[in-house]
Amino acid sequence: MVINNIYDEYPIWSIPVNFKGSKWCLEQTGNDMYRGRAGILLFMYYVKLLKDKSSYTQLYNKMLSAIPPSVSLSKTTFGLTGDIGYFIVLSIIEDYDTNTLACLNYIKSVLTELEKTDFASVSNKSDYINGLLPLINTLVRYYRRGIEKERVLRLVLSLGDTLYNDVSERDNSNFGYSFGHGLSGVIFTLKNIYKVTRLKKYKELILQLVPREKIKIHSLKWCSGEFGTLVNHPQSVPEGIVASLDNDTFCHGSMAIINFYIDYMKEMDTSMELESLLCSVVMNKSKEGEYRIVQTSNFPDFSLYTGVTGIAYTFLRYIALNQNDKKIVIPSLLEI
């Protein structure tokens, strides 16, 4: 479905949005990671690596060449839903193929825009979906890869101060430990900042934010449930809550759990749980004729976090586990 759309000379980049009751509209996708084209580019990169077919390489390059030469960061969001989607993806993929120069120039243009940005005025600073957290983790990846290292480090320090002040100055008692909108995403990001800067204040803040007692899990939604506690404190997943999931996407359903099982398979021996949940998703698809996604029959949601691309990406991760000859490691969506 996703790949066939890219094959078209003029792909249809629209997804359905349920905005009220039974009322739907079509929304043009942007360049973001959450529901936009950047997330699909990440998927195509790993399809190309795993399948090694010239047609997939051509599609991958087609999407790379569509990245704009520059970007104006006029919106107030820098999260997964923001305009920096391609900037995030290029920090993860390691092969820009025939578009290397264009991609490096794009990265530099975004850095220039970021250097002019007043991050203190950004809303939802401590949010993963709509705030600054993915941007910080993206810059950390560029730093580790040695791309524009000095510029990137200065931005990490600046953004780190902004995040530190935002979290320190507010009441976090009712903030919750979800990953998408809660403290688990903040803790994950602070750990990455500390690994790069080694500044003591980040370690101290992490210790303040980490819950002293085991969090009871009521919901396993990555965005708003207690799922985030699994990422920062790996533990067994309550079986009954997994069975109650009625959605197959990453943000709202089973794909986040499958990613978790893959990540901690060796550490926690989650292979049986992984196989069981994968079979459940596939069998339900076979029975119902479609995945459990908020979409219409005529217009599928092909996005990474709320649609079929996220499901396909997760299945790719599972396939890669069993292709030892290629040794391709596909990163978890939990780490982006």
Name the nearest CA neighbour of 4 among 333, 278, 285, 308: 308
Nearest to 332 by CA among 260, 281, 224, 276: 260
DSSP element (H, E) containing 241: helix 239-243
Task: Show the CA angle centred on residue 194, arms to residues 92 and 167, nearest 5°.
Answer: 100
Q: Which of 181, 210, 239 is the last residue of a domain?
A: 210
Partner residues linked to 24 by β-bridges: 18
Structure tokens at 306: 């709320």
Q: What are phi and psi of 137, to 5 degrees?
A: -65, -30
d(CA 323, CA 318): 9
Length of the chain counted residue by residue:
336
Domain boundary among 165, 186, 210: 210
Identify the domain boundary among 210, 244, 263. 210
Check whether residue 174 and residue 272 sit in a common domain.
no
The residue with tokens 């790996």 is 234
Helix (H, G, I), strand (E, B) or coil at 124: coil
* Same domain membership, residue 163 and residue 225: no
Query: Which domain does 108 fall in, by range?
Result: 70-210
State how far the alpha carbon of 165 is from the alpha carbons of 96, 190, 327, in Å.
36, 12, 41
* Same-domain check for residues 93 and 107: yes
Three-state SS for 27? Answer: strand
Q: What are phi and psi of 310, to 5 degrees?
A: -65, -35
How many domains is the chain built from?
2
Instruction: Specify whether 206 is located in the same domain as 78.
Output: yes
pLDDT (tens, 9 = 90+) of the chain, 336 residues, equals 555 555 455 556 666 665 555 555 666 778 999 999 999 999 999 999 998 888 899 999 999 999 999 888 865 678 999 989 999 999 999 999 999 999 999 999 999 999 999 998 888 899 999 999 999 999 999 999 999 999 999 999 999 999 999 999 888 777 888 999 999 999 999 999 999 999 999 999 999 998 866 777 888 889 988 888 887 778 778 777 777 788 999 999 999 999 999 988 878 888 888 999 999 999 988 888 888 887 656 667 889 999 999 999 999 999 998 876 668 889 999 888
The answer to whether the pTM exceeds 0.85 is: yes
CA torsion through residues 89, 104, 327, 189, sign? negative
